[in-house]
């Protein structure tokens, strides 16, 4: 009887300690671990991170860092959970690093989990059959005011549904493409693909250009941020 009790106790303890490891790390948690493993010289120069076919909760990330010591000035690492499984220098010259696109730590305020919970809420309320995401965080243009999350939405058949872009600094929804979000507060950020609605497309381009050159956005400025809209959001069952 004592042996059975001890075996049950050990099993329950192992299960309790193993459970947190199965929970996917957020993007910023993963980035923090990658920085520690690379060291300050490289880890401080974060450029971008991406994950494809994330099934709503990414379990791996490719992260790029500016690295002055390498020929192409960029180091790419693949993180699966807390483990760095690959550490390579990309061979494609178009993947070269540029210090002008380095993202500073203070610019990262809205983590992947908060954004994804908000996206799930939008999908449920709008009846959109969201099944998976391609996720990218980067500064898409030199001098960009803030790093931008780009979430490409896919259904269960792996058909692309549309795209939502959210500022990682302010939480603002800065662009929505091909997604019919049932909320008037996102009409300013919504547009169709080029050719679908030329007026909306160029209005958004004008807003992007204004923000790029002046650091401010007054044209087509979104009126709602992901933080406020996601306060009551909960992950889909």
User: Which of the listed residues 45, 74, 102 is the one where a domain comes to its end?
Assistant: 102
Q: What is the dihedral of CA 188, 191, 194, 195, to 10 degrees?
A: -110
Instruction: Say whether both 146 and 64 belong to one domain.
Output: no
d(Cα 72, Cα 119) in Å, to the nearest integer?
35
**In this predicted structure, what is the pLDDT of residue 177?**
94
Whether 235 is in a domain gets the answer no
Whether 12 is in a domain gets the answer no
Q: How many residues does the chain have?
A: 237
Sequence-ordered list of residues with C-beta below 8 angstroms from that of 85, at least 6 positions apart, any chain: 78, 79
**In this predicted structure, what is the pLDDT of residue 189?**
59
Instruction: Say whether both 88 and 126 belong to one domain.
Output: no
Give the range of the structural domain holding residue 115, as residue numbers without chain letter. Answer: 108-229
Long-range contacts of 155-164 (CB under 8 A, 24+ apart): 155/129, 155/130, 155/131, 156/129, 156/131, 158/53, 158/132, 161/128, 161/129, 161/130, 164/119, 164/122
User: Which of the listed residues 102, 121, 151 is the one where a domain comes to its end?
Assistant: 102
Render 158-210 in DSSP notation, one character per residue: --EEEEEEEETTT-BEEEEES---S-GGGGGGEEPPTTT-HHHHHHHHHHHHH
Whether 234 is in a domain gets the answer no
Structural domains in the chain (count): 2
Instruction: Say whether both 95 and 175 belong to one domain.
Output: no
**In this predicted structure, what is the pLDDT of residue 96?**
77
**In this predicted structure, what is the pLDDT of residue 10?**
39
Instruction: Say whether both 222 and 118 belong to one domain.
Output: yes
Beta bridge partners of 88: 76
State pTM to two decimals: 0.72
Instruction: Say whether both 95 and 115 belong to one domain.
Output: no
Nearest Cα neighbor of 109 from 150, 164, 151, 168 is 168
pLDDT per residue as tens, the chain (237 positions): 444 433 443 344 333 333 345 678 999 999 999 999 999 989 999 999 999 988 888 999 999 999 999 999 999 999 999 999 999 998 876 677 888 899 998 999 999 999 999 999 999 999 999 999 999 999 987 766 789 999 999 999 999 999 999 999 999 999 999 998 877 666 655 655 533 333 343 344 444 444 444 455 544 454 445 555 545 443 343
d(Cα 9, Cα 94) in Å, to the nearest integer?
55
Whether 15 is in a domain gets the answer no
Nearest Cα neighbor of 224 from 179, 170, 147, 182 is 170
Instruction: Say whether both 113 and 97 belong to one domain.
Output: no
Helix (H/G/I), strand (E/B), else coil: 133: strand
Instruction: Say whether both 122 and 160 belong to one domain.
Output: yes
**In this predicted structure, what is the pLDDT of residue 31?**
97
Instruction: Say whether both 58 and 115 belong to one domain.
Output: no
Instruction: Say whether both 117 and 213 belong to one domain.
Output: yes
């Amino acid at each position: 009887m004592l042996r059975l009790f001890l075996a049950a106790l050990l099993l329950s303890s192992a299960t309790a300690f193993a459970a947190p490891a199965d929970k996917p790390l957020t993007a910023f948690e993963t980035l923090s671990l990658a920085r520690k493993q690379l060291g300050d010289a490289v880890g401080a120069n974060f450029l971008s991170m991406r994950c494809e076919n994330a099934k709503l909760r990414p379990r791996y990330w490719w992260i790029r860092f500016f690295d002055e010591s390498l020929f192409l000035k960029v180091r790419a690492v693949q993180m699966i959970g807390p483990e760095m499984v690959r550490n390579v220098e990309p061979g494609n010259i178009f993947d070269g690093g540029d210090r002008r696109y380095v993202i500073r730590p203070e610019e990262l305020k809205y983590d992947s989990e908060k954004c994804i919970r908000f996206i799930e809420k939008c999908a449920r309320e709008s009846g959109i059959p969201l099944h998976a995401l391609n996720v990218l965080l980067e500064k898409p243009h030199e001098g960009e005011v803030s790093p931008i999350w780009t979430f490409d939405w896919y259904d269960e058949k792996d058909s692309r549904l549309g795209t939502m872009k959210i500022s990682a600094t302010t939480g603002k929804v800065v662009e929505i493409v091909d997604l019919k979000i049932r909320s008037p507060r996102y009409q300013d950020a919504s547009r169709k693909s080029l050719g679908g609605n030329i007026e909306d497309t160029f209005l958004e381009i004008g807003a992007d250009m204004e923000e790029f050159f002046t650091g401010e956005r007054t044209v087509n400025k979104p009126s709602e941020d992901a933080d406020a809209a996601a306060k009551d959001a909960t992950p889909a069952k």
